[in-house]
Amino acid sequence: MSYNLLKGKRGIIFGALDENSIAWKTAKLAHAEGATFVLTNAPVAMRMGEINKLAEETGSEIIPADATSIKDLENLVQKSVEILGGKIDFVLHSIGMSVNVRKGKHYTDQNYAWTEKGWDVSAVSFHKVMQTLHKNDAMNEWGSIVALTYMAAQRTFPDYNDMADNKAYLESIARSFGYFFGKDKKVRVNTISQSPTPTTAGSGVKGFDGFLSYAEKMSPLGNATAQDCAEYTVTLFSDYTKKVTMQNLFHDGGFSNTGVSQEVIEKF
């Protein structure tokens, strides 16, 4: 069922890697809700060609961009405005990667070159995307920018490693840039703190399956799926959430406010 919530809106969607990706599900729903958008991902992530399927299904163009490269982002923003025929109404930053996690480096034994790389990709890229949009005056008034985060930014989950620090930084950027984007252009900026979700990035975290089942048992409503996340994200792109900005919004079935659940107690 669709409600035409995004009728006539133009967007840029970062991070659709395959059909499990949160960005993939969001793109499909945004299309169903009447939006037009450009899809983008890092050139290396496009080698598999999966994203072409999504582009076909949603009638979108693809513009490759490494989200850490200002040159790529300038090109992306300028071309998107051209292709879509006007300024942008919504942007989804659905990007995360830690080299330390990938290579199994423990949090107490980081390779700092990898730490910096992960920080740039997972956190600073959000600033770069917004700075490029801001400088190019590419956002429409009452536009909406969303990035995805995880609760390890507030509470420790040992295997989440340096991604926890990256997410804390990302959430802070949403507040800081949200202030200026709100004042200057009436654009809102928020992060969605999503349940653990079986995607390529999610499954890369050590012990992910245990993590997923634990969260499921701790959340009164159960884990939020990628599809649930797409649905929430679309509401944040719609005109019904115009005054929500600079927030970290938990989308986790109640996990973040649950001390313990009966199911978890019974395990002991």
Ligand X SMILES: NC(=O)c1ccc[n+]([C@@H]2O[C@H](COP(=O)([O-])OP(=O)(O)OC[C@H]3O[C@@H](n4cnc5c(N)ncnc54)[C@H](O)[C@@H]3O)[C@@H](O)[C@H]2O)c1
What residue ranges bind ligand X (CB under 6 A)?
14-15, 17, 21-23, 41-42, 45, 66-68, 94-97, 121, 148-150, 194, 196-197, 199-202
Give the nearer residue to ligand X in terms of CB position, either 22 or 138: 22
**CA angle centred on 70, ends 88 and 138, rounded to 5°:** 20
Interaxial angle between packed helices 22-32 and 226-237, expressed in degrees from 0 to 180 and rounded to the nearest 10: 50
Q: How far is the CB of 105 from ligand X (least distance, A)?
A: 18
Half-sphere exposure of 119 (CA within 13 A, CB side): 12
Q: How far is the CB of 95 from ligand X (least distance, A)?
A: 4
Distance CA 191, CA 170 (A): 8
From start to end of the chain, where are the E strands? Answer: 10-14, 36-40, 61-62, 88-93, 139-149, 188-194, 247-251
Shortest reach from residue 180's CB to ligand X, in Å: 22
Q: Which is nearer to ligand X, 41 or 144 (CB)?
A: 41
Round to whole Å and give the CA distance between 237 and 142: 9
Shortest Cβ distance from residue 7 to ligand X (Å)?
26
Contact 198, 223 (CB under 8 A): no
- Nearest position to ligand X, beta carbon: 202
Least distance in Å: CB of 116 to ligand X? 13
Of 46 and 83, which CB lies nearer to ligand X in the complex structure? Answer: 46
Residue 191's SS3 state is strand
Strand partners, 39: 13, 62
- Residue number with CB closer to ligand X (107 or 186): 107
Q: 250 is written with which tokens?
A: 């938990």
Instruction: Determine the Cα–Cα distance for residues 250 and 151; give it in Å rounded to an integer.
Output: 8
**Shortest approach of ligand X to residue 45 CB, angstroms?**
3
CB 232 within 8 A of CB 33: no
Minimum gap (Å) between residue 86 Cβ and ligand X? 24
User: Is 30 or 185 the residue whose CB approaches ligand X more closely?
Assistant: 30
Q: Which is nearer to ligand X, 159 or 186 (CB)?
A: 159
Task: Name which of 192, 191, 73 is nearest 138 in CA terms.
Answer: 73
Q: Which is nearer to ligand X, 5 or 153 (CB)?
A: 153
Distance CA 266, CA 72 (A): 52
